[in-house]
């Protein structure tokens, strides 16, 4: 069994962050491990508070994993402070790294800033160049490149500019487009277009965390980046289609739909 590590924040309602990552890892038949960067107080209606973990504790979590367990892929999510970003990079550079997927988490669906303004520079200059693949959605890509993206040509332009930051691959996710949910993968030479379905649902909490973790799990199992993205895209579409309500706001996607289906458990 392959081992996948998530370095991200904790979501107290279980729909995003490390909880979503671990569920996605498990759904793909891999063993999930976690390094917690922050603890959030949130539910389906929003994020209400954040407590960042001490940088030394983050480093010790990373060291504890790598000094004992083989890591076959890494996913990095919420890293809200420059100190967090710097310590993660320092700790990871001590080891021979497996495929690394970075989801540049910046703003929650409820509008809460999950990346401090002063951390943007550190994210771009320190962490993104280490990535095998980065997976920004359109608002995140716009923050990084500094211009509006509103169509496929804009996504391709952004992918080129993002690739110049030093990562190997860029996946610009188009879920925020008005008409479709097309994603663009760029390897520095070619574009690969992944067309997607749009579902009429509000239950999309954890979508970005989940697809990036699904990609990481697929990479851990030896898939090429293009295939890893394609399979993760199919997985997240099914998870979104069967997302469900657990509170009074935005519910989670269904990480285990296929497993629940086999077990005879309704997703209603």
Rounded to the nearest 10 degrees, how much is the dihedral formed by the CA atoms of 80, 132, 5, 182?
Answer: 80
Distance CA(91)–CA(6), nearest Å, equals 14
Q: Which one is catalytic: 2, 75, 109, 173? A: 173
8 Å CB contact between 85 and 127: yes
Whether 208 is catalytic is: yes
Annotated catalytic residue: which of 174, 204, 221, 230? Answer: 204
Asked about 121 being catalytic, the answer comes back as no
Catalytic residue among 182, 209, 221, 233: 209
Burial class from Cβ neighbours inside 10 Å (0-12, 13-18, 19+) for residue 153 reads: exposed
Q: Would you call 210 a catalytic residue per the annotation?
A: no
CB neighbour class for 195 (10 Å; exposed up to 12, middle 13-18, buried from 19)? exposed
Catalytic pick from 206, 230, 243, 251? 206
Say if CB 209 and CB 20 are below 8 A apart: yes
CA dist 6 → 21, 27, 79, 106, 216 (Å): 7, 15, 12, 17, 9
Whether 262 is catalytic is: no
Distance between CA atoms of 49 and 266, rounded to whole angstroms? 33
Instruction: Extract the tokens encoding 75.
Output: 């996913």
Q: How far is CA 36 from the centre of its chain?
A: 14
Q: Do residues 212 and 134 make contact, with C-beta atoms less than 8 angstroms apart?
A: no
**Sole residue written with tokens 């690969």:** 192
Q: Would residue 40 show up in a list of annotated catalytic residues for this protein?
A: no
User: Which of 37, 135, 207, 210 is flagged as catalytic?
Assistant: 207
Query: At 25, phi and psi to the nearest 5?
Result: -60, -50
146 as an active site residue: the answer is no
Catalytic residue among 15, 208, 230, 251: 208
Q: List the catalytic residues.
A: 173, 204, 206-209
């Amino acid at each position: 069994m392959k081992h996948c590590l998530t370095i991200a924040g904790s979501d107290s309602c279980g729909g995003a962050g490390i909880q979503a990552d671990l569920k996605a890892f498990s759904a793909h038949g891999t063993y999930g491990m976690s390094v917690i960067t922050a603890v959030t107080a949130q539910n389906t209606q929003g994020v209400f508070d954040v407590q960042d973990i001490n940088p030394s504790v983050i480093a010790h979590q990373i060291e504890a994993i790598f000094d004992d367990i083989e890591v076959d892929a890494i996913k990095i999510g919420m890293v809200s402070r420059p100190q967090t970003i710097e310590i993660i990079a320092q700790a990871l550079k001590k080891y021979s790294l497996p495929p690394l997927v970075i989801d540049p988490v910046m703003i929650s669906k409820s509008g809460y800033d999950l990346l401090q303004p002063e951390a943007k520079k550190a994210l771009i200059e320190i962490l993104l160049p280490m990535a095998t693949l980065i997976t920004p959605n359109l608002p995140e890509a716009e923050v990084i490149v500094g211009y509006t993206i509103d169509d496929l040509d804009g996504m391709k332009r952004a992918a080129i500019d993002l690739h110049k930051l030093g990562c190997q691959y860029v996946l610009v996710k188009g879920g925020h487009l008005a008409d479709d949910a097309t994603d663009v993968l760029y390897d520095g030479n070619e574009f690969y277009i992944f067309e997607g379905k749009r579902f009429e649902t509000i239950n999309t909490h954890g979508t970005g965390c989940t697809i990036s973790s699904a990609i990481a799990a697929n990479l851990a199992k030896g898939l090429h980046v293009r295939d890893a993205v394609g399979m993760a895209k199919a997985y997240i579409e099914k998870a979104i289609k069967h997302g469900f309500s657990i509170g009074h706001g935005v519910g989670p996607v269904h990480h285990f739909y296929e497993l629940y289906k086999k077990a005879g458990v309704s997703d209603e």
